[in-house]
Amino acid sequence: MSIDDYRIGPGLRDRLSTNLAAFSRQTSDIGAHKHAAIAITVVDDGGGDAAFVLTRRAAHLNSHAGQLAIPGGRLEPGETPVDAALRELDEEVGLTLSGSDVLGVLDDYITRSGYAITPVVVWAGVDAVMTPDPNEVAEIYHFTFAELNRTGSPEFIDIPESDRPVIRLLFGDDKLHAPSAAMVYQFREVALHGRIVRVDHLEQPVWAWR
């Protein structure tokens, strides 16, 4: 796939939608898990290349402060995962989208910390104006599709605490860790490349287990 295949536009939107529609997603028994959703939001990086919205969590937060993250959070009573993903996107980065902007939904991912996360893929396209909520977000980034397909990424790491491989994605000089990395990797494989890839076997770093 060439760099031109990552240009923002109707052709890319159609490709993502088609691939997601052909994907039979796996749901999880939520059970005692806390149900959450994230919005993997496709935007223009400012130069015509496709990217998704990535944030850095505010430094004063009680959990995972300063870490890279995707907009998202727990479902409120009566919400669907799509409802929650769109609400959290609006609250965290000020981007208001609707159900008609949703391209599809990926597999639920169960975390070590007790969450069942549903990834919702959303199209914002060009001219997406975002403003971080300082209570939650320190900075907003564009993680380009070219960077997402960077050579050597993802990395799979063995740890003594688990027999499952830990996944992480390279982002500049930083790294995006699981659970976000696992769900973004599935987005790359399923939505962008049309491959049937599951990620429930991929592990999170030990510090994310709490």
Contact assessment for residue 181 and residue 168, using Cβ atoms and an 8 Å cutoff: yes
Q: Which run of H or E residues covers position 24?
A: none
Which domains occur in the chain, in start order? 3-149 (3.90.79.10)
Cα gap 50→72, rounded to integer Å? 20
Q: What percent of the residues of the chain are helix, what percent strand, and what percent coil, each to the nearest 5?
A: 25, 35, 40
Nearest residue to 89 via CA among 137, 48, 154: 137
pLDDT in tens, 125-182: 998 999 999 998 999 999 999 999 999 999 999 999 999 999 999 999 999 999 999 9
Amino acid at 148: L
Q: pTM value? A: 0.95
Which residues contact residue 28 at a Cβ distance below 8 angstroms, ignoring those fewer than 6 apart? 108, 110, 116
pLDDT in tens, 16-38: 999 999 999 999 888 889 999 99
Inform me whether the pLDDT recorded for 97 exceeds 80.
yes
